[in-house]
Structure formats: structure tokens, C-alpha cells
Amino acid sequence: MPLEQILPDTVQRVAALLQALGHESPILMLSESGKTSAEAAAGIGCSVAEIAKSIVFRRLSDGAAVMVVASGANRVDEQKVAAIVGQLGKADARFVKEQIGYAIGGVCPIGHLQKTVMLIDNDLMQYQHIWAAAGHPHAVFKLTPTQLMAMTSAPLADVALRS
């Protein structure tokens, strides 16, 4: 059976987007869930910090989706993000699915259904390679931080909660 027939629809969509962008690293299907950064890192064999996790908020002023692509080792400081994009509210699973097009745990930084306000965690820039979700909790792909910036056109920002 061809690989495309066994991949979930959302992963096939991401694979097509990556191919159109000329991205050569294949999508890796993890045997265990990669819903959390720790699970994904364990399945890949990388550090938690090398996971590019996608955190979604809802901007209160207009209801737009706001995505922060952060290092898996960082907690996102909502005040820092709000200072850049405006006041934030929680984004529930339904909002994420309707606006972004992926289920929580597999939210990819590309291929969103609606226009998304995006920021990329400065801390990701220190890694040669990072791993992002590919549209499903078991699917990831490898890329460089520079490729992430090019694919998303998102600016870098200090979004990490520092103690």
C-alpha cells in the first residue's frame, strides 16, 4: 500500500506543503504519541528544547488565532506575547481545529486554515535542527530554525517565561 494511503489526511496535507516548499526532510511517524514535547523528544531521540511546539491563543480584540512556536523546554509568557500582539484568551480544541486545521497535540506551524498571527521563540535559533509537528500527534518533521522562519514568515520574539 502506498505511504500516502496510510498517512492521516492532515499529515498528507503537510507532506504536500513541505514538498511544494522544496523541503527535503521526510515526515517521521512516531510509534508512540508526540502530543507533548517530552513524548516527541523521547520518540525522536533529541532534547526537549529541540522540539518546536505550537501553542495557540485567541486574540481578544478580533478573535484571530495567535500561534507561538516555542522551544519545548520553555513555558510561554502570555504577558510577553500579549505585549506584542494584543490581549489574549484561551484557545480551546474546537477553536484550534477550526482556525488552524489541526488537532491539539499535532499542530503544525504551516498550512493553517485561517490567517494566523505567529511568533517564533528566539531560543529555537540556538539549535542546528528542530522538530515540529506535522499535523498529527504521531507525525513530526525536521527543519532548521531558519527554514521555520522562511516557511512561516513569522518574526522572532522573546516569548519564554523566565524565573
Separation CA 156–CA 140 (nearest Å):
22
Residues of the chain with pLDDT under 70: 1-5
DSSP single-letter state for residue 125: G
Residue 2 confidence (pLDDT): 47
4 Cα distance to chain centroid: 22
| Confidence at residue 1, expressed as pLDDT on a 0 to 100 scale | 38
Domain 3-157, second-level architecture: Alpha-Beta Complex (3.90)
> pLDDT tens digits, residue range 30-63?
988 778 899 999 999 999 999 999 999 999 999 9
pTM: 0.93
- Give me the sign of the Cα torsion angle 111, 113, 117, 123: negative
* Single-letter amino acid code for the residue at 114: Q
The one-character DSSP state at 55 is E
Question: What pLDDT is recorded for position 5?
Answer: 54
State the pairing for strand pair 51-59/65-71.
antiparallel
